[in-house]
């Protein structure tokens, strides 16, 4: 399944780092600051555009505020929490990156989050240099589960879908990868609220398992 792979495309939140709980924290904090009751299932929006959440949260509230401003505030809270908690990337990620680099396999990133957040998160973890291509949700017409982000990564990398594989932790992300005709590895991250990964081609329970998948297909 992973033979002749020339590009591995990682999702960001929940794959590069266990940041989904921080998205929950940030959204809850902002809702409280605006005096809004949290009656929305925040976890239902894992892997989906943040603006969709904020649009629903504000519906009927009479509050007029820019969705872009709310999204940026969400990112700023997450980045602040990352610094305070001294967060690290997902366990085993560094070894996976070293393995891919040693085998001359390109590394890409496809996220529904915005460029503003992507660049700061990768810089915080000091892993920006590993990525040949990164695409944010604000750089495509439609975010996940649409395939636009993945298609743009493939285009920029100059690699056809049959020679690439995606690593996703959410139902929406897996759908986006499959919509782009990609093989998709589903990462069952417990901090991502037990997403349905049934449409993934294969499931893993730790990022470090990726190395074994490549070695098994040599």
Using alpha carbons, select from 211, 36, 22, 201 the residue that is nearest to residue 117: 22
Upper half-sphere CA count for residue 12 (Cβ side, 13 Å): 30
Percent of the chain whose pLDDT exceeds 70: 97
Query: Of 34, 55, 85, which residue sits at a domain end?
Result: 85
Cα separation, 75 vs 66, whole angstroms: 14
Whether 133 maps to a domain, the answer reads: yes
The pTM of the full predicted model, rounded to 2 decimals, is: 0.92
Query: Domain containing 153 — which CATH number?
Result: 3.40.50.1000
Does 44 lie in the same domain as 96? no
pLDDT per residue as tens digits for the range 120-172: 999 999 999 999 999 999 999 999 999 999 999 999 999 999 999 999 999 99
Indicate the Cα dihedral angle 46, 79, 100, 207, nearest 10°: -50
Helix boundaries (H) for the chain: 20-33, 50-58, 67-85, 93-102, 115-124, 148-157, 171-179, 209-216
Tokens 């989050």 locate to: 113
Domain that holds residue 40: 20-85
């Amino acid at each position: 399944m992973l033979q002749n792979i020339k590009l591995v495309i990682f999702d960001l939140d929940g794959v590069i780092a266990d940041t989904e709980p921080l998205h929950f924290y940030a959204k809850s904090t902002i809702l409280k600051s605006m005096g809004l009751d949290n009656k929305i299932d925040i976890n239902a929006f894992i892997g989906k555009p943040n603006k969709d959440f904020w649009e629903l949260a504000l519906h009927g509230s009479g509050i007029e505020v820019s969705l872009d401003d709310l999204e940026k505030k969400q990112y700023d809270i997450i980045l602040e929490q990352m610094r305070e908690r001294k967060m690290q990337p997902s366990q085993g990620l560094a070894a996976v990156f070293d393995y891919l680099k040693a085998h001359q396999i390109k590394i890409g990133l496809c996220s529904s989050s915005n460029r503003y957040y992507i660049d700061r998160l990768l810089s915080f973890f000091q892993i920006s240099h590993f990525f040949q291509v990164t695409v944010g949700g604000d750089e495509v017409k439609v975010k996940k589960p649409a395939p636009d982000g993945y298609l743009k990564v493939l285009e920029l990398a100059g690699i056809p879908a049959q020679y690439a594989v995606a690593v996703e932790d959410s139902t929406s992300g897996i759908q986006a990868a499959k919509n782009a005709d990609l093989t998709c590895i589903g990462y069952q991250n417990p901090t991502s609220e037990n997403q349905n990964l049934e449409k993934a081609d294969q499931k893993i329970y730790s990022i470090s398992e990726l190395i074994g998948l490549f070695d098994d297909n040599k």
